[in-house]
Chains A and B, each alone.
Chain A
Amino acid sequence: MRKVLATIIILLIATTAFAFDGFTDIFDSDDSFFETTSVEVKQQKLGLNGALSFNLEGMADTSGKEINTSINGGLNLDLNWKGSIVDAKATLDLIPKTDRTNMEWIDIFTTLSISTFFDWGRVEAGLLKKEWGSGDGIHVVDPLNAPDYRNGLVDDPLQMKMAEPMVMGTATLRDTSIDVIYKPMLIPMVAAESEKSRWLMPSPINPADIYSKLTSFGVDESWDFKYQVNTPEADELAKLSHSQWGARVKTTLGPADLGIIYYNGFYTTPSFKIGNIQEIIESLTVNAADKKLKVEIDLAFTRAQLFGLEATVVTGPLTFMLEGGFWLSEDYKGNDPLKYNNKAVYLAGVGFTIPKTSAYFSFTYSGEYILNFVEGDIVVQDPLNPFDIQIGDADYIQSLVSSNGKPYMNTLTAAFELPLAREKVNVRLGATYQIETKGYAIFPSVKWNLADDVQIKAVGRFFGTFDNFIPSMFNKWSKNDSLTVGISYLF
């Protein structure tokens, strides 16, 4: 960890820094504010902000009779150095995890960037988190960072994004800007891997679920059961063939901000198929006496192009948010079982501040529709097939775990935020409901600013479903309700 810190500090000193210390070209800068919040380094400014926090999360154990606790506080450091034409920034989350033995770069670096400014725009490079789309945190045309599901779902989708290596150039002319982005490698989504993790994603191809299906076919402990996942190597994902790029043009037209998006990259969710269905069926039938069974799962990533639109339209006190897009898959004909098909994505939302209050409410409807996918079309009625699918089509498997086997998935999301006691207290309630699986997540929170720099909070996470027979992450995590209490010092 010390090496990491030392590297960052050296990097910041070796380059020159994205904060703003006031209009120093207009106001006299010799007052106490500037002296206390930044350090002059040869006419450049080194800034240090962050938060020191201590959080305790409690979650009922699977028996429901005991509470498991975990500590997830730590130190968040925001280092920035502002030079004449260059900004450098590093945001580090130094957060020890009691349930994690190794910390990876995605756990530590929230941002690590160097930005160079020109008259016409800027270029940023490093480990970046970027956001495209007009939605209120929820997007369907934002392919720039893969999500991290290792700790389940949280109320802030941005927090679930992983910083990725990328270069982004932005050219600006009046109210029009063009972003061009290049990512040299594919960083796929991450999820809990340990079979013991309570945040394991639901999947009909994870070993526990497969084994449970096989038991009804007579498989038991006496069988020689082997499970093999053929995963693309990390080196493979870093090859030039896995680089990604895209561009967005954004402009303002009257009461609307409009954007056009093109992205040539990958679906960040791996696609998969059960590679040896026929062999498995034979092992369970004609070769059952051998009591040998091997299940092979092939993983792959699907290259696709996104053609998207985004719009924010303001009318009166209402802010309307619209996104729409079409993912053109490399399997555009929909006949490769290992690759995802084309799909259309859509989002519509509205946000408004409730009159005569500071309370804010937003409501979003979003979804996707997979093309060349006929519901139930590839279901095999063969009672000897434990998986109900003939060749393990990636889209079908995905739909089984995310949308109850439907080619479409629709989600409602709402958020309500109410500042109280002159903004000393902030009450928030976020909720999401996935229509096809009837699963839901509710995120209530209360934050109380004891002082401007000291905050205590209580944050809840509740997952569930209105239909226990439909597989979904909400169903699988329905015993993962938790309550976190914490205290933070902001500096």
Chain B
Amino acid sequence: MKNKIVVVLVFLLLITTALTAQQTANEIMQKVMDVQKADSVAMDIRFSLIDAKGEERERRIQTLALTEGDLTSTITVFLSPASVRNTRFLTRERSDGGDDQWIFLPALGRVKRIASNEGGGSFMGSDFTYNDMSSTTYDTTEALHTLIGEELIDSRSAYKIVSVPYKQTGYVQTQIWVDKEFYLPLRVEFFEKDKTTVSKVLTTEKIEKVEDKWITKIVTMTTLATNHSTRVEILQAKYNAPMNSGYFTTKFLETGRP
């Protein structure tokens, strides 16, 4: 549960707009970072957990992120299934770089302060984990990015970049294909410690223009060993929309009212 908001952020990172030209790996990754910037982001997201037999289970969340100063607060509400409905999760970034996190579990009816979890636990039973995120940093200060070429991914021209995070908490290396036109990650491969075995693959299935931004509308993460996958569909996305700061409070967690 504690990882959920972090995993949600992966979707924010997948949202970019188009830029141009020959660049270094760091410049490309910086653009991936820059184009997703917004004072506020709201997303309505559907997860489809698909097992090897093709059977699907759905989860639905809504998440809001608001940046004030340089600090970002994020609230996530779980809408379905019934077993997690009305679970609410608040993360507030501190100026020292850490996070404050609280969770509201409807079965308990109260707000609990919780520690952040830097483990590899699954997010809502999906193929996403916290480690997936920490291994997929686009920040040029957090990973060594190397441009190793250009390839076609589903007929789209893409930069192929190898990223090695300086702090290795999960995967030791990722390989990312960044769309040359829209600066969207089209494919990410996650490598095991041997740096040759790919354990998971993230693929972009659909991109769409929302307001002035191009976003990855649908992405799928597949765990190769089990052939289990998670399709993530952004049903709605809003950028820089007016957002009540009361949503990012423990009061909202407890009452559902800002």
Contact = CB atoms under 8 A, between A and B. Distances in A.
Interface of A: 18-23, 25-28, 31, 33, 37, 49, 87, 115, 117, 121-122, 129-131, 134, 158, 172, 174-175, 177, 252, 255, 257, 312, 314-319, 351-359, 419, 422-424, 449, 451-453, 455, 490-491
Contacts of A424: 125
Contacts of A315: 115
A490 B42 contact: no
B100 A252 contact: yes
B125 A314 contact: no
Given A37-B80, A314-B100, A452-B58, 18 more contacts: A20-B77, A22-B79, A27-B62, A27-B238, A49-B82, A158-B108, A158-B109, A174-B249, A177-B250, A317-B117, A317-B118, A319-B114, A356-B121, A356-B131, A422-B122, A452-B80, A452-B82, A453-B83
Contact of A117 (B44, B243, B249, B257): B257
Interface residues of B, number: 54
Contacts of A451: 57
14 contacts: A26-B42, A27-B236, A172-B249, A172-B251, A177-B250, A255-B98, A314-B116, A315-B115, A351-B115, A353-B119, A353-B121, A356-B131, A358-B119, A452-B80
Nearest to A311: B113
Nearest to B244: A25
Which 9 pairs, one residue from A and one from B, show the smallest C-beta to C-beta distance?
A: A358-B121, A20-B256, A423-B125, A452-B81, A422-B125, A356-B120, A490-B82, A312-B113, A355-B119
B71 interface: no
Nearest to B61: A22
A31 B235 contact: yes
A158 B124 CA distance: 24
B255 interface: yes
A360 to B, nearest CB: 9
B114 A314 contact: yes
A23 B115 contact: no
B124 A423 contact: yes
B130 to A, nearest CB: 9
Contact of B119 (A130, A319, A354): A354
Contacts of B107: 158
B115 A27 contact: no
A452 B57 contact: yes
A317 B169 CA distance: 14
B152 interface: no
Given A122-B255, A255-B100, A353 B117 contact: yes
B180 interface: no
Interface of B: 2, 42, 44, 49, 57-58, 60, 62, 64, 77, 79-83, 85-86, 88, 98, 100-101, 107-110, 112-122, 124-126, 131, 228, 235-236, 238, 241, 243-244, 247, 249-251, 255-257
A319 B1 CA distance: 14
Contact of B83 (A27, A115, A449): A449
A343 B58 CA distance: 51
A490 B115 contact: no
A117 B252 CA distance: 12
B85 A26 contact: no
B81 A490 contact: yes
B239 to A, nearest CB: 11
A422 B235 CA distance: 23
Given A257-B113, A357-B119, A422-B228, A19 B124 contact: no
A452 B60 CA distance: 12
Given A31-B235, A158-B108, A319-B114, A18 B255 contact: yes
A175 B238 CA distance: 27
Contacts of A358: 119, 121-122
> Which of A26, A316, A356, A424 has most chain B Cβ within 10 Å?
A26
B237 to A, nearest CB: 9
B42 A453 contact: no
B62 to A, nearest CB: 5
Contacts of A174: 249
Given A25-B244, A158-B108, A318 B115 contact: yes
Prevailing SS type, chain A contact patch:
loop
A354 B238 CA distance: 36
A202 to B, nearest CB: 30
A86 to B, nearest CB: 11
A285 to B, nearest CB: 56
A76 to B, nearest CB: 11
Contact of A422 (B81, B109, B126): B126
Contacts of B121: 353, 356-359
Contact of A357 (B42, B77, B120, B244): B120
A117 B122 contact: no
Contact of B86 (A20, A28, A354, A455): A20
Nearest to A354: B119
A26 B115 contact: no
A255 to B, nearest CB: 7
A27 B82 contact: no
Nearest to B81: A452
Given A27-B42, A131-B109, A452-B81, A20 B88 contact: yes
B11 to A, nearest CB: 15
A422 B251 CA distance: 31
Contacts of B122: 358, 419, 422-423
A27 B82 CA distance: 21
Contacts of B101: 314
Given A129-B109, A353-B117, A422-B49, A23 B62 contact: yes
B76 to A, nearest CB: 11
Contacts of A255: 98, 100
Contacts of B77: 20, 22-23
Contact of B44 (A22, A87, A419): A22
A351 B247 CA distance: 27
A319 B115 contact: yes
A488 to B, nearest CB: 10
A130 B109 CA distance: 8
A242 B216 CA distance: 62
Contacts of B44: 22, 27
B56 to A, nearest CB: 10
A453 B244 CA distance: 33
B67 to A, nearest CB: 16
Given A22-B79, A317-B115, A131 B108 contact: yes
> Which of B79, B80, B113, B115 has most chain A Cβ within 10 Å?
B115
A117 B79 CA distance: 23
Contact of B251 (A130, A177, A314, A491): A177
Contacts of B100: 252, 255, 314
A353 B2 contact: yes
